[in-house]
Structure 1
């Protein structure tokens, strides 16, 4: 979740001016809001998130305390590759998140044989990442999913229709799991070059190299 702060400042002589912050994390918003209020010159202060939901400082403090103990600020990179000769697929995902005041990264891949196209492999890689989020205990959190497949991203953003029956099954499976976890997803498209980490994990899977790691960064 990202927040904005809007406040009106009043000088001792009565002059008023309004300010609006850039998009900031809940932790930073709480710190700044409390500090601004301490000046004693704030006529009005409003906290609201990217969904235009307003928050009081008390509500935000409770949220930050609760969220600190669980994975949050989650970004997922995913990629899938399909080998037409062997009919095998390599799936890869890298998950970045914060927990307990520390930053972590999970890298995971998988080799599967039951898929038929590269498009299926891309969706299967995303599904692999969603299942890993479930294993982490992620619930009722915004999550950013980033991939280099224009078809996958645009279809999940409802910008392109999908007519392939197999891909529709993957879409239903992914959306069902996301809804079950209460995840508020954001799907972003990047270039293949910028998705190198997930791509490398998928390639390693096709080479028979299994990867799973969790590390502090």
Structure 2
């Protein structure tokens, strides 16, 4: 988390002026703030994050301590399968993350009716994974989103235009969820060979086998 330090500097003769630092990482900003306070010349010192939120020293320290305890290095891999004859879809998602030093994995899938095509199934699979992420107390961090659907990845990344109202609705749901959780998405297209795990989950859902599991992995 990068922040700006703002403080009012007051000279022994009572002349005062607001000072503003460059944007810098939280740890560096905290060191600077403590050094500024030691001079005895600062008034109303606070931090500003890139959203314009104002933080006191105590508030920011408390927030960052809690953040370190939350899941980090989050990665979601998704895939969707669609049966044109039955109009049924299978959605699968795998979530990897660290909780402290422990690496964990969530696997989830679900069968859905009334979808229109494979691309919608892909969007629904990502949506499914994001709903699961809500359960692990994730907030204000980067999330790597990987899938083998060029349509979904490139449209969400803003690389491809979106003309279909159906896809726009799914994009709105996904982006609203990311915003609610204050997650900063990084989208990455992967090949089908790299997406076997979530693809298998999607196929299993389509065939009637639903899975929901969470395990701790051995650290590699």
TM class, shorter-length? 0.7 to 0.9
In structure 1, the residue matched to 2:25 is 54
In the alignment, structure 1 segments of 5+ residues that lack a partner are 4-51
| Aligned-residue offset at 1:70 | 1.6
The alignment's TM-score, normalised by the length of structure 1, stands at 0.72
Q: Tell me, what secondary structure is at the counterpart of 1:208?
A: coil
Distance 1:185 1:216 in 2: 24
Distance 2:213 2:29 in 1: 37
In structure 1, the residue matched to 2:127 is 127
Write out per-residue CA displacement over residues 65-124 of structure 1, whole angstroms, 9 at most, x where no aligned residue. 433422111011000110111110000000000113201000000000021100100000
Distance 2:86 2:30 in 1: 54
Distance 1:203 1:138 in 2: 28
| Higher mean C-alpha deviation, range 129-138 or range 64-73 | 64-73
Distance 1:145 1:202 in 2: 17
Larger gyration radius, structure 1 or structure 2: 2
Question: CA 1:188–1:56 in 2, change beyond 3 Å: closer, same or farther?
Answer: same
Does the Cα contact within 8 Å between 1:76 and 1:146 map onto a contact in 2?
yes
In the alignment, structure 2 segments of 5+ residues that lack a partner are 3-22, 32-60
Does the Cα contact within 8 Å between 1:148 and 1:190 map onto a contact in 2?
yes
4+ long deviations beyond 2 Å: 52-60, 62-69
In structure 2, the residue matched to 1:216 is 216
**Superposition RMSD on alpha carbons, in Å?**
2.3
The alignment's TM-score, normalised by the length of structure 2, stands at 0.71
In structure 2, the residue matched to 1:200 is 200
Question: CA 1:167–1:57 in 2, change beyond 3 Å: closer, same or farther?
Answer: same
Question: CA 1:64–1:103 in 2, change beyond 3 Å: closer, same or farther?
Answer: farther
